Structure 1
Amino acid sequence: MCYHGLIAAGFGGQGVMLFGQILSLAAMIDGKYTTWLPSYGPEMRGGTANCTVIISDEYIASPVLDEPTEVVAFNIPSMLKFEKNLKEEGLLFINSSVIDRKPSRKDIHVIKIPASEIADEIGNPKILNMVMLGAYLKATEAVSHDSIKEALERKLIGKKKDLLKLNLKAIEAGMREVVK
């Protein structure tokens, strides 16, 4: 059975919500059940933002997660807030470009991705969310690569259509980083 209960968290403006939307849309394209539940801090940019995504082969009773199977932390406050709730043996993805400390728990698996550095190398710091998405996809195989591409094509419309190749490049870079 496929089940992924994920919390992605960071500062507003880091692309946390788009990360969750693309993942949830890709799950629908793959024919899975999914929920996406956003949560914003009081500020528009620079405040806290997180979203919960559940992906399952079975009907999902509630979009609320008490014990996620995976946490994707874009910054230190997010790691500190959500690491403690992560399921034992769960996956903690951290943006090691900005998180300079080790998680406190020893009963989880930590995947360090220098997402901000990779995004800068590709040429756009705003795509760090797609680097993290690529790492998440490679480690979990929660959805197919084709469904992610289709989800991006559906989401990046109008002027944003030009960003498709850049976002796919960032996803590929994140996937390669997990293999290292």
Structure 2
Amino acid sequence: MTEEIIIAGFGGQGVLSLGQILCYGGVIEGKEVSWMPSYGPEMRGGTANCITIISDSKISSPIISKCDTLIALNQPSLDKFQSAVKPNGLIIYESSTILNPPTRVDVEILPIEAANEAAKLKNTRVMNMIILGAYLKKKPVISIETAFEALKKVLPERYHHLLPLNKEALMKGCELAEKLHVNS
């Protein structure tokens, strides 16, 4: 198994953290991982993306031109990267803020209203964890439990009081993906 993922959005949306959590989780489960971040000079509010690779075997290069999965948290990222998804791949996108959904017909598309759900949890910063939960429900490259353990390593200790909320957000993402799977 090798899963190549592009995660993209605005700085401050937790794009890079999402990739880090996947990689730390891969390491915990004994997998090979690669994480290559890229972000604009503005950081918060500028564009950010990362290439994350999780594999059972050695990874030859951290640079990819095509991916198995795109996780897009904003419209510019969806517009820029949707053509990079391999046929039969997966596009997960934040559907409460993206106005023009993906147009591909040769990939699976999973719209997740993560921003709205995060607002219901009274903390918009957990949007990325909702998306992560949905992704892991669809493609369990690491377990949800491992993702939560990895979060403890990625999240600075001063924010560890938010771990229960983040776990709730992860589970909400799983639930949303399950509902979409049942309804499709």
| TM-score interval for Structure 1 and Structure 2 normalised by the shorter chain | over 0.9
Determine the structure 1 residue equivalent to 2:112: 113
Q: Distance in 1 between matches of 2:148 and 2:104?
A: 34
Q: Distance in 1 between matches of 2:89 and 2:31?
A: 21
**Superposition map of 1:26-65 within 5 A:** 26-65=25-64
CA contact (8 A) 2:69 2:89 kept: yes
Deviation, structure 1 residue 175: 0.6
Deviation, structure 1 residue 154: 2.0
**Superposition map of 1:1-180 within 5 A:** 2-180=1-179
What do residues 74-114 of structure 1 show as CA deviations (whole Å, max 9, x unaligned)?
00000000001110010000100111222121111100000
Aligned residue-pair number: 179
Q: Distance in 2 between matches of 1:152 and 1:47?
A: 24
CA contact (8 A) 1:35 1:54 kept: yes
Deviation, structure 1 residue 145: 1.7
- Tell me the C-alpha RMSD between the 2 structures: 0.9
Q: Which runs of 4+ in 1 moved over 6 A?
A: none
Deviation, structure 1 residue 152: 1.4
What do residues 20-65 of structure 1 show as CA deviations (whole Å, max 9, x unaligned)?
0011100110110000000001212111000010000000010011
Q: Which runs of 5+ in 2 are unaligned?
A: 180-184
Query: Which secondary structure does the structure 2 equivalent of 1:81 belong to?
Result: helix
CA contact (8 A) 1:16 1:129 kept: yes
CA contact (8 A) 1:52 1:63 kept: yes
CA contact (8 A) 2:95 2:101 kept: no
Q: Which runs of 5+ in 1 are unaligned?
A: none
